[in-house]
Amino acid sequence: MTWLITGGAGYIGAHVARAMAEAGERVVALDDLSSGIQDRLPEGIPLVRGSSLDGELLKRVLAEHAITGVVHLAARKQVGESVAQPTRYYQENVGGLATLLEAVAEAGVRRFVFSSSAAVYGNPDVDLIAEDTPCAPMSPYGETKLTGEWLVRAAGRAHGISTVCLRYFNVAGASAPELADTGIFNIVPMVFDRLTRGEAPRIFGDDYPTPDGTCVRDYIHVSDLAEAHLAAARRLTDGASGDLTVNIGRSEGVSVRELVTLVAEVTGNRTPALVEARRPGDAPRAVASAALAERELGWSARRDVREMVESAWRGWLLHHPGADGA
């Protein structure tokens, strides 16, 4: 087996590439390096620079590397940006996926793992979000992920491709400092950034119907997420057919205030948080039921939120020297 990982030099992609390579899988990474970093990939993993929108390149890569399975992570993923640039998100996230699936079908590749998101659910009023919870995405980003799932399943049925769609919840942490998230789009690096600049962390709304009034989320360590991809790939390698869609989370809710307090403990910076108005569209609670992933993939999360924050902080310090003295 040889797996092509699109977006393989990204924050999540590099973790997936390393986890699969360390488990003995042959891996090739494809990344346009618009946000990916080549040095994240260890020696021995080839990197092809290019986009999933480039059909001719994809055909050449699939043939030259004798690809037998694909893990598709390449996508734009900022909710706010998707609201401002919906056509770009549909073009890159859905158009790129369609181009890739066409090349995959033509090359006779029969295994496909798709990076989806809990954003497909929108704002469901349930204690635990299961895979059969109705999907009602609230942003163009979430819409592209749901559309992507539909497309993956349809292509799978049409061309005999076995597929797994993984719906990620909130990803944090790093397996090594050099692999840490360098973007400032998720809550943990956003809090780090505020503290490093001598500013108070922000909490958007403290009047939700939750125990402490702040939003509750399910956080998953990126290393656990990478292992979920490996489990999905192994399921397909072992001959599983059809399609499978599973949540990837811990089934444990952590409030924004609890997370900010934990960041203060880890960093030693206890600047009080600033409470601001609610943001439109934020769900009071979004926590996964991960039972199906354990049953179908034999996977469950092993790392807790403290390990996520501590490992992310080590990565932040590597990329922002002197931040611990802020």
Question: Hey, what are 109's tokens?
Answer: 């590749």
3-state secondary structure (DSSP) of residue 144: helix
Does 141 participate in catalysis according to the annotation?
Answer: yes
Alpha-carbon 17 to chain mean position = 13
Torsion angle of C-alpha atoms 265, 274, 207, 279, degrees rounded to 10? -110
Beginning with the edge strand found earlier in the chain, give each strand of the sheet holding 2-6 in spatial order: 47-49, 26-31, 2-6, 69-72, 111-117, 162-168, 243-248
Torsion angle of C-alpha atoms 169, 291, 159, 45, degrees rounded to 10? 60
Based on the number of CB atoms within 10 Å of its own CB, is 232 exposed (0-12), middle (13-18) or buried (19 or more)? buried
- Nearest partner of 40 among 323, 324, 315, 320, judged by Cα: 315
Q: Which of 11, 89, 121, 141 is catalytic?
A: 141
Q: Report d(CA 121, CA 137) in Å as an integer.
A: 5
Q: Which residues are catalytic?
A: 141
